[in-house]
Amino acid sequence: MASDSQQANAAVQLYEARSGEYDGTWHVDFTERFAAQLNIKPGQRVLDLACGTGLLTFREADAVGSKGKVVGVDVTPGMLAQAKAKKQRDGPNYDHVEFFQGDILNLRAIDGLKENSFDVISVASALVLFPDPAAAIKHWTQYLKEGGIIAVDSTHPRNLVSGIVIERIGRKLGISVPYHRDWSQSEDSLKRVLEAAGLQVEKVTTIDNQAGYGRRYYDFDDADDQFVSHVIVGISRDKFRDPEIRKKAHTLFLEEWNNLAVNGKVEEVDAVFLGVARKTKLTSPTASAQSNGAKAQAPTNTEVIFTGGCRCGNIKYSSTSPPSQITHCHCRACQQVSGSSYLPFFEIPTTALTYHSSSTLQTLKLSDAAIRTFCSSCGTPISMVYLHGGWDKRTSLTVGSVDVGTFKGEFPGTKQHIFLREKAPWTVLPEDGAPRYETASEAQAGYIEKYSKTV
Ligand SMILES: C[S@@+](CC[C@H](N)C(=O)[O-])C[C@H]1O[C@@H](n2cnc3c(N)ncnc32)[C@H](O)[C@@H]1O
Ligand SMILES: [Zn+2]
Ligand SMILES: [Zn+2]
């Protein structure tokens, strides 16, 4: 099918060339883990969008059995040809599987697909290929029965770091790239996109080790190799062929790479977020009325709740999660590193935090309990992460580093005062009614005692 959509054409270009090797990649394993989240029952009707070579489609077909039905849709002829060949090979076992070629952003063009007729819709490893994820999901949801579920995944912000870098460069140079990952910062971002599409979110989980490498670190010097393999010979090479553009892209690549580095290392995290959401009675009529060719409202890149950074401007971060209430820490270390009476912090999930610029971010370990960061150029304290007791998935940010003017929603109040045994003699505590602790709340005190004298 010749598509008039730029996105679909770009996808065909990207995947046609890969279709022959696709089944030799980590997608085989990932689709198995994806299918395990769906809880498909015999007899159900399943729609697998962007089905590719059918890796997930056939797993779903096994789960629904011959009394069920599975429909796969993809736009890339080579991918679909692989899927159809498998169906042919396995003959009558897969009579209940059907494949259509088409653009999944325009499902109405596919005869034989009926709205409100599927129990489950799956979209594996494809959501980030679409520029407006909430609008896309809203469109797909029309094909779900009331009470049906849709499952989608989106990338961890550090998944394939060079891809993120190319996306940012593309934006700066006005060059389109075939993926749109910048909105996908955390489990919470995916949750919000599903909610923006009018769905009730059942669960969002993080799947680690998607491609099997876990975490890896690049040196700053790897930037040139990455530039060569991803821009000069990678999928974007045609767009960056012009020597002038390539030169600009190279400079920007080094700049972005440097921004992502912490202590000279760029971290890559092999993880994705997977969300399952339900079409409910309440949401379904609005969902179909609004999705009638209309775009979803400004979805996800406006979802930053606040930004912050250091005094000199070298460190800039944003958070896609609202923070907890404020903890005022009166410990001696907080007095010293802030040069003040005490240090106010609030917490967010670490996955909600993105550093947009961090070349001067230094870590500081004053005890075994926690790691702090600060700006090595201007001295601003930025964050603290407790290393034990399950707190390591949350980052405490110094409230003084927040750009208060950017804050969306109600600014948090005081949760507690901690480490009052070390309180500066000149500090007069406000009558804020908040709990006061000699060290910390019972929940935290035990482990803080165990790992440190000061935190
Ligand atoms: C990474 S593959 C995922 C394939 C399969 N879901 C899996 O997990 O193995 C992405 C797929 O999205 C398809 N795709 C991208 N944009 C599309 C569109 N607008 N309509 C239909 N398929 C599309 C591509 O053709 C490709 O097969
Ligand atoms: Zn600074
Ligand atoms: Zn402290």
Whether the CB-CB separation of 287 and 196 falls below 8 Å is answered with no
Q: Which residues surround ligand 3, an ion (CB under 5 A)?
A: 329, 331, 334, 455
Concatenating the DSSP letter of every residue in 321-359 gives S----EEEE--HHHHHHHTSS-EEEEEEEGGGEEEEEET
pLDDT in tens, 417-437: 999 999 999 999 988 888 898
**pLDDT score at 2:** 39
Is the CB of residue 163 below 6 angstroms from any atom belonging to ligand 1? no
Q: Tell me, in angstroms, the distance from the centre of ligand 2 to residue 453's CA.
A: 28
Q: Which ligand is nearest to the CA of 381?
A: 2
Is the CB of residue 51 below 6 angstroms from any atom belonging to ligand 1? yes
Instruction: For Cα atoms 306, 187, 71, give the angle at the middle one, nearest 5 degrees.
Output: 135
Q: Tell me, in angstroms, the distance from the centre of ligand 1 to residue 12's CA.
A: 9
Beta bridge partners of 362: 374
Is the CB of residue 444 below 6 angstroms from any atom belonging to ligand 1? no
Per DSSP, 12 falls in state H
Q: Which atom of ligand 1 is nearest to the CA of 48?
A: 6
Look at the alpha carbons of 4, 7, 10, 15 in this order and tell me if their dihedral is positive or negative. negative
- Closest Cα to atom 26 of ligand 1: 52
- Closest Cα to atom 20 of ligand 1: 103
Place of tokens 């993926």: 179
Residue ranges and CATH numbers for the domains of the chain are: 6-163+177-215+267-290 (3.40.50.150), 306-451 (3.90.1590.10)
Q: Tell me, in angstroms, the distance from the centre of ligand 1 to residue 74's CA.
A: 6
Backbone angles phi, psi at 437, to 5 degrees: -125, 140
Site to probe by mutation for ligand 1, drawn from 3, 100, 129 as the one with most ligand atoms within 8 Å of Cβ, is: 129
Place of tokens 């009926």: 114
Concatenating the DSSP letter of every residue in 274-298 gives EEEEE--TTTHHHHHHHTSSPPPSS
Residue 389, C-beta contacts closer than 8 angstroms, at least 6 positions apart? 444, 447
- Closest Cα to atom 11 of ligand 1: 50
Q: Which atom of ligand 1 is nearest to the CA of 76?
A: 25
pTM to 2 decimal places? 0.65
Q: How far apart are CA 424 and CA 430, in angstroms?
A: 14
Biggest alpha carbon distance in the chain? 83
Q: Which ligand is nearest to the CA of 330?
A: 3
pLDDT in tens, 155-202: 998 898 888 888 888 888 888 888 888 888 888 889 989 998 889 999
Per-residue pLDDT of the chain (455 residues; tens, 9 = 90+): 334 688 999 899 889 999 999 999 999 999 999 999 999 999 999 999 999 999 999 999 999 999 999 999 999 999 999 999 999 999 899 999 999 999 999 999 999 899 999 999 999 999 999 988 999 999 999 999 999 999 999 999 889 888 888 888 888 888 888 888 888 888 888 998 999 888 999 999 999 998 888 888 998 888 888 888 777 766 667 778 888 888 998 998 888 888 888 778 888 999 999 999 999 865 443 333 333 333 333 334 458 999 999 999 989 999 999 999 999 999 999 999 999 999 999 999 988 898 888 878 888 888 878 889 999 999 999 999 887 777 778 999 999 999 999 999 889 999 999 999 999 999 999 888 888 989 887 767 666 666 665 55
Whether the CB-CB separation of 97 and 72 falls below 8 Å is answered with yes
